[in-house]
Amino acid sequence: MTIAVAIAGCGYFSRFHQDAWSRMADVRVVGIADRDPQKRAAAAALFPQARAFVEAETMLDETTPDLIDIVTPPQTHLDLVRAASRRKVAMICQKPLAPALPEAIELVETAERAGTLLAVHENFRFMPWFLETARLMADGAVGTPLNISFRLRPGDGQGPNAYLSRQPYFQQMPRFLVHETGIHLIDVFRCLMGEITGVFARLRRINPVIAGEDAGLVIFDFASGAAGLFDGNRHVDHPAKDTRMTNGVLLVEGTEGVIRLDGFGKLFVRPRGGEEREHAYDWEDRGYGGDCVYRQSRHIVDHLVTGTPLVNSGRDYLRNLDIEEAVYRSAEEGRFISL
């Protein structure tokens, strides 16, 4: 079975999506759409068999894909989901799903009313180091998990030109660090540690040229009784060949051991009372984040072709957005928020 894919949006991050689709033998890209002629032409060069369009709705009508990959800014997502839902086309939608929670809920409910698949392109959980950490935890490497922390340190947020060469709309987002980036770690924390039951947050803006926050601390309570810390600062970097590959460092601590991730994608395991040793595992430094975009996209295709369980449906993802709202509410009100 071959899946016909249409791509809406050919900007900076779309190139990782395009690379992923180009490497799947059971995927055929039938259409690409972008209003920028240069971006559209660059994508068309990669997929000579695909038709190029200015408008995504025209692309949907004229190519009749099985799946549309929505890789456009958040404010465009709802209209594209409506368009795909009317045509009963399955969807992957980049995050943030929408500028605010009510619109994200409407987006999910639109797809549900139409009976169409809506998956969220949440790629961090598909990074190889997080997948391997989950496997190690399942094998008992840390015993009962007690604490998790992630120090986000991409070091890309300084000066008046911050983000302009890559994703310029970052500068205008009224909510930034948690809404755009921290949401990934909310998803990873839930994947590794279970459900989040409460948050306490302190957020701040360091770079005056951006609208939203770019640094902050968020404490998480988990249903298991464990605790978590997200320590994010987009100004500060960390030891790495590419600071945006892992984006920071992870620590998972439990009753029987510790797992540590460094900025080079290396994992280290230390049993309780013992010495830390590097844990070797297979992964490739390709694309973005250890080829996580390919793994995420492959997960969707496998679901469509063989019916394997989907871990990133729109409905499931709304829980992450509920937690995000609690983080911002906690920061605004200066108190712990129960979920």
| Structure token pair of residue 57 | 């709705």
- Rounded Cα distance between 47 and 168, Å, is 26
Q: How far is CA 263 from the centre of its chain?
A: 18
> H-helix or E-strand containing 242?
none
Phi and psi angles of residue 153, each rounded to the nearest 5 degrees, phi first: -140, 60
Whole-model pTM: value is: 0.95
Mean pLDDT for the chain overall: 97
- The beta strand positions in the chain, using DSSP E, are 3-8, 27-33, 51-53, 67-70, 90-94, 118-121, 145-152, 196-204, 215-222, 227-233, 248-254, 257-261, 267-271, 277-279, 337-338
Beta-carbon contacts of residue 246 (< 8 Å; ≥ 6 apart): 127, 129, 240, 261, 262, 263, 264, 265, 289
Residue 248 phi/psi, 5° resolution?
160, -160
Q: 223-235 burial string, b = 16+ CB within 10 Å, else e?
A: eeebbbebbbbbb
pLDDT at residue 276, as a whole number: 98
Task: Output the pLDDT for position 15.
Answer: 96
Other Cβ atoms less than 10 A from the Cβ of 108: the count is 23
In sequence order, what are the residues at sequence separation of 6 or more whose Cβ sits closer than 8 angstroms to the Cβ of residue 84?
A: 60, 68, 70, 90, 91, 111, 116
CB burial of 289-326 (b: ≥16 within 10 Å; e: otherwise) equals bbbbbbbbbbbbbebbeeeeebbbbbebbbebbebbbb
What's the rounded Cα separation, in Å, for the pair 331 and 333? 6
Distance CA 253, CA 328 (A): 27
Place of tokens 């979920």: 339
Sorted by sequence, the CB contacts under 8 Å of residue 177 that are 6+ apart come out as 203, 212, 213, 214, 215, 216, 232, 234
Q: Name the stretches of the chain with pLDDT < 50.
A: none
Between the CA atoms of 322, 323, 325 and 328, what dihedral angle is there, to the nearest 10 degrees? 180
Nearest of 36, 35, 34, 37 to residue 17 by alpha carbon: 34
Give the integer Cα–Cα distance in Å for 269 and 276: 5
Element (H or E) spanning 281, and its range?
none
Tens digit of each residue's pLDDT (9 = 90 or more) over 178-216 = 999 999 999 999 999 999 999 999 999 999 999 999 999
pLDDT attached to residue 143: 98
CA-closest candidate to residue 40, choices 53, 25, 49 = 53
The count of other CB atoms within 10 Å of the CB of residue 35 is 13
Look at residue 97 in the predicted model and tell me its pLDDT: 95
First CA to last CA across the chain, in angstroms? 43
Q: Distance (Å, rounded) from C-alpha 16 to C-alpha 69?
A: 12
Domains by residue range for the chain, with CATH: 3-121 (3.40.50.720), 125-293+320-338 (3.30.360.10)
Cα distance between residue 297 and residue 109, in whole Å: 22
pLDDT of residue 72: 96
What confidence score (pLDDT) does residue 310 get?
Answer: 96
